Amino acid sequence: PIWVVPIPYDLPKEQLLSLFKQLNGVLFPGGGADLNQTHYFYTQQYLLDLAMAQGVFFPVWATCLGFEALVIAAAGSYSILHTGFDSWNISMPLNFHPDPQSVRSHSKMFNKDNMPSEEMFNSFAKEAITLNNHHSGVLVRDWFANTRLNQIFRVLSTNKDRKGQEFISTIEAINFPVYSTQWHPEKVSYEWRADEDINHSYTSLLANQHMANFFVNECRKNDHKFADESELVNKWLIYNFTPEYTFKQEPDFVQTYFFPKSSQ
């Protein structure tokens, strides 16, 4: 089964390490949170450090806010983040870097083994199917000026906001199973506001769903298991929490989980 375990960001490091040793991967979601030297950021940084330790195959996916936290941690500076983008509620095709053929040959997410459909790959390059919902991001010029980022990650795509500012939109680590998008592959299937610029075509649904399928397959390569399955079932699984229907109050999200603070 594919089971989800929410990770409280305020857990002490000892409990985070214990969870890490029992999970098969971690997803850093999008959303809104302060990443400038906050507890939330340091928890993500700690988990990323564990995931990128030598000898451990531990997949990480980071979306939007997660992308930004990932890049700040890797760059070693909050200043890598640019906050002046006009890229809220806009779907675009990906500008593959340095070109589609290179990405198709050398990337993990988009290569012919993991994405055998040429039609699906071409849809990313030619159709507006990747939804961007961000004001912050990383300018292309700032990325390539940062030695640490270029040593750790391979840039797969860039995009431009409404003002023509070019930002990094898709990356993957060179030597680790770490993948990240500034855009939101999850929103295509689960957000249906009429005023959102989301491409809900069958092609778009399949292409964006591929990102989840790819990441889950990566997680299957990790053999971590919960030492006590009853603890997993009765304490940690997301089924122990009840989502609330919030579309009427906040139509960006049909359902929302409200997690209690960690007792630590």
Catalytic residue numbers?
Answer: 64, 184
Backbone angles phi, psi at 34, to 5 degrees: -75, 125
Residue 97 has, within 13 A of its CA and on its CB side, a CA count of 16
**Nearest-CA neighbor of 206 among 143, 145, 129?**
129
Phi-psi region of 109 (alpha: psi -120 to 50; beta: other; left: phi over 0): alpha
The pair of structure tokens assigned to 146 is 């940062």
Alpha helices in the chain (DSSP H): 13-20, 39-51, 65-75, 100-106, 118-126, 140-144, 147-152, 187-190, 202-219, 229-231
The pair of structure tokens assigned to 50 is 């564990």
Beta-sheet pairing, 60-63 with 178-181: parallel
Per the listing, tokens 């990790």 go with 222
**Nearest-CA neighbor of 145 among 65, 222, 80, 54?**
80
For residue 92, count other CB atoms closer than 10 A to its CB: 20
Residue 167 near residue 87 (C-beta atoms within 8 A): yes
